[in-house]
Amino acid sequence: MGIALVRCLGLLRPREPSEPRLNRGQRKAQTREQLLDAATRVFAERGFEAASLDEVAAAAGYTKGAVYSNFASKTDLVIALIERVEAEHGPIEAMVFNIGANVPCSILEETARKYFKIWEMACFSAFLNGREVAKRMVARGRGTILFTGATASVRGAADFGAFAGAKHALRALAQSMARELGPRNVHVAHIIVDGAIDTDFIRTTFPERYALKEKDGILNPEHIAENYWYLHQQPRDAWTFELDLRPYMERW
Residues paired with residue 96 on neighbouring β-strands, in sequence order: 146
- What confidence score (pLDDT) does residue 11 get? 47
User: Can you give the pLDDT of all 252 residues of the chain as single tens digits?
Assistant: 444 444 444 445 555 656 678 787 788 888 999 999 998 898 888 877 778 899 999 999 999 899 899 999 888 998 999 999 999 999 999 999 998 788 899 999 999 999 998 999 899 999 999 999 999 999 999 999 999 999 999 999 999 999 999 999 999 999 999 999 999 999 999 999 999 999 999 999 999 999 999 999 999 999 999 999 999 999 999 999 999 999 999 998
Report how far residue 166's alpha carbon sits from residue 150's, in angstroms, rounded to the nearest whole number: 11
Burial class (CB in 10 A: 0-12, 13-18, 19+), 102: middle
Report how far residue 171's alpha carbon sits from residue 179's, in angstroms, rounded to the nearest whole number: 12
Domain final residue pick, 73, 89, 105: 89
Question: Does residue 74 form part of some domain?
Answer: yes
- What confidence score (pLDDT) does residue 4 get? 46
- What confidence score (pLDDT) does residue 18 get? 61
Residues 57 and 179 in one domain: no
CATH number at residue 68: 1.10.10.60
Residues 33 and 96 in one domain: no
List, in order, residues 6 or more apart from 18 with CB less than 8 Å away.
none
CATH number at residue 118: 3.40.50.720
Question: Does residue 68 form part of some domain?
Answer: yes
Residue 125's SS3 state is helix
- Residue 85: give the domain boundaries: 25-89
Residues 142 and 221 in one domain: yes
Residues 182 and 83 in one domain: no
Residues 225 and 130 in one domain: yes
205-217: pLDDT as tens digits: 999 999 999 999 9
**Cβ proximity of 232 and 144 under 8 Å:** yes
Question: Does residue 194 form part of some domain?
Answer: yes
Q: Which amino acid is at 179?
A: R
Residues 196 and 72 in one domain: no
Residues 85 and 95 in one domain: no
Q: What pTM, to 2 d.p., does this model score?
A: 0.84
Question: Does residue 17 form part of some domain?
Answer: no
Question: Does residue 234 form part of some domain?
Answer: yes
Domain final residue pick, 89, 108, 142: 89
- What confidence score (pLDDT) does residue 83 get? 94
Question: Does residue 158 form part of some domain?
Answer: yes
User: In terms of Cα–Cα distance, which of 165, 172, 79 is closest to 121?
Assistant: 165
Number of domains the chain is built from: 2
Residues 62 and 126 in one domain: no
Domain final residue pick, 50, 65, 89: 89
Residues 136 and 182 in one domain: yes
127-139: pLDDT as tens digits: 999 999 999 999 9
Residues 131 and 212 in one domain: yes
Residues 224 and 126 in one domain: yes
Question: Does residue 9 form part of some domain?
Answer: no
Residues 185 and 235 in one domain: yes
Question: Does residue 7 form part of some domain?
Answer: no
